[in-house]
């Protein structure tokens, strides 16, 4: 089999709605295999994601209370959290944090910042709605594992008078998003329940543990995600990837088939099933699913990028540049693609083009580590440029 990939959907962030919820079906307990994994190294508690810490309570009673007195409940909350000179939060997609962890670190990804905003809003008795946002599929890769990143934002209602018991219709909502406007223009979204967003948070943590090969912790995070909301199928997919890493092919297969029973065209489950079937020597059956995948997704994620890297290693910088540009044409916000296009430009002697692309890589970086790496590369290129300018003699004009 060629071009078989490990795929599973994580960081698919959604939202919670402060209203009556539909009953959640019980999880498929037969997918669990506790005996194959050691106990988790850290406590796993879904509710901790939305818990206010003592430091958060103090902030709410001081800085936030001051803002609220002058601007009202909702605007005061937002200004206290997100106005420069106050909390000074940074976007950082490296790890998924609880509300309290995001507050302490002063940084977080979309999930973390939404959880933190919701925790403060609930403390102030503001109605909250989380929204799962439909964006163009955003793929990333870490340690040989592909991720599909989703997105959430949050809507807050105005505070209601205490003597008002019944509200007909939906209160006026203000939606707050943590991505640049150009990335979310013409977005569509849907509200989701608290159980779903907590399952997403837990699944994120499972995926993050998996990427650093902490399989035991990853198992318990994924297990808790399924117990929290059995409808969130990405957690089953993550569990299947864990089972395959653990050599439990039968369990991985049965878990993936469960996902495909619910969603027959689930690309991540189908891709992983191809791998599991290939592992067990069932090549013909694997090829059936591989052919179906090729029809649904004829150009898989990172295809042009991987071909570009191969061209770079062969010293074919012009070919590599064309391939990286093709990958960027369908995923303009992936910093890794800009970085490698910058390297191809540098290999072709285009220093200005190299600087421009690495600057874009820095601009689109979502983690502190990436910003440090790309920032250092950009600083080095700027130094090379300055040295070239100093060596170039000034042209004298005659009179």
> 290-304, pLDDT tens digit by residue?
999 888 887 777 788
Sign for the CA dihedral angle at 322, 327, 331, 336 comes to: negative
Is pLDDT above 50 for 14?
Answer: no
Token output for 347: 């290999």
Token output for 167: 């509200």
Please answer whether residues 115 and 99 qualify as being in contact, where contact means their C-beta atoms are separated by less than 8 angstroms: yes
Lowest average pLDDT, out of 46-55, 359-368, 376-385, goes to 359-368
Is pLDDT above 70 for 232?
Answer: yes
Please answer whether residues 119 and 50 qualify as being in contact, where contact means their C-beta atoms are separated by less than 8 angstroms: yes
Under the banding of pLDDT at 50, 70 and 90, the label for residue 177 is: low
8-state DSSP, 360: H
Q: Show the DSSP H helices in 132-263 as ranges.
A: 181-184, 194-211, 215-228, 234-245, 249-262
- Which of 68-82, 126-140, 241-255 shows the highest mean pLDDT? 241-255
Cα–Cα distances (Å) from 218 to 85, 227, 242, 269, 275, in that order, read 37, 14, 8, 18, 20
Average pLDDT over residues 388-395: 62
pTM (predicted TM-score): 0.71
Please answer whether residues 195 and 27 qualify as being in contact, where contact means their C-beta atoms are separated by less than 8 angstroms: no
Domains in the chain: boundaries: 7-162+169-257, 303-390
Please answer whether residues 89 and 82 qualify as being in contact, where contact means their C-beta atoms are separated by less than 8 angstroms: yes
Under the banding of pLDDT at 50, 70 and 90, the label for residue 183 is: low
Residues 6+ apart with CB under 8 A from 102: 89, 108, 112, 113, 115, 116
Class of domain 303-390: mainly alpha
Mean pLDDT for the chain overall:
80
Percent of the chain residues past pLDDT 70, beyond the cut = 76
8-state DSSP, 42: S
Average pLDDT over residues 69-90: 79
Token output for 386: 């300055």
Average pLDDT over residues 367-373: 77
């Amino acid at each position: 089999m060629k071009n078989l990939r490990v795929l599973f959907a994580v960081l698919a962030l959604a939202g919670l709605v402060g209203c009556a919820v539909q009953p959640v079906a019980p999880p498929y307990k037969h997918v669990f295999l506790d005996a194959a994994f050691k106990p988790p190294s850290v406590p796993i508690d879904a509710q901790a994601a939305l818990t206010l810490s003592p430091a958060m309570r103090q902030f709410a009673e001081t800085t936030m209370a001051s803002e609220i007195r002058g601007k009202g409940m909702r605007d005061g909350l937002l200004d206290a959290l997100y106005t420069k000179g106050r909390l000074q939060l940074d976007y950082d997609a490296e790890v998924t944090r609880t509300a309290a962890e995001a507050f302490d670190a002063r940084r977080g990804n979309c999930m973390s910042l939404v959880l933190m905003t919701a925790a403060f809003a609930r403390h102030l008795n503001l109605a909250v709605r989380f929204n799962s946002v439909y964006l163009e599929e955003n793929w990333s890769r870490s340690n040989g594992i592909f991720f599909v990143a989703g997105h959430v934002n949050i809507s807050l209602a105005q505070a209601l008078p205490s003597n008002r018991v019944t509200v007909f219709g939906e209160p006026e909502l203000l939606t707050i998003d943590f991505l640049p406007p150009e990335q979310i223009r013409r977005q569509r979204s849907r509200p989701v329940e608290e159980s779903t967003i907590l399952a997403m948070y837990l699944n994120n943590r499972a995926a993050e543990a998996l990427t650093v090969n902490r399989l035991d912790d990853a198992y318990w995070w994924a297990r808790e995600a399924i117990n929290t909301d059995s409808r969130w199928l990405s957690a089953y997919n993550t569990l299947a990837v864990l089972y395959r890493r653990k050599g439990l092919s039968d369990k991985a297969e049965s878990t993936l088939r469960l996902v495909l029973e619910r969603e027959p065209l689930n690309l991540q489950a189908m891709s992983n099933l191809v791998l599991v079937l290939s592992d067990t020597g069932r090549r013909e059956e694997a090829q059936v699913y591989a052919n179906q995948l090729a029809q649904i997704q004829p150009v898989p994620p990172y295809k042009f990028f991987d071909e570009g890297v191969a061209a770079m290693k062969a010293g074919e910088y012009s070919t590599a540049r064309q391939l990286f540009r093709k990958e960027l044409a369908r995923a303009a916000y992936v910093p890794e693609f800009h970085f490698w296009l910058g390297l191809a430009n540098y290999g072709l002697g285009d220093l200005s083009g190299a600087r421009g692309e690495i600057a874009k890589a820095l601009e689109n970086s979502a983690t502190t580590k990436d910003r440090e790496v790309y920032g250092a590369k950009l600083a080095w290129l700027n130094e090379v440029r300055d040295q070239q300018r100093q060596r170039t003699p000034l042209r004298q004009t005659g009179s």
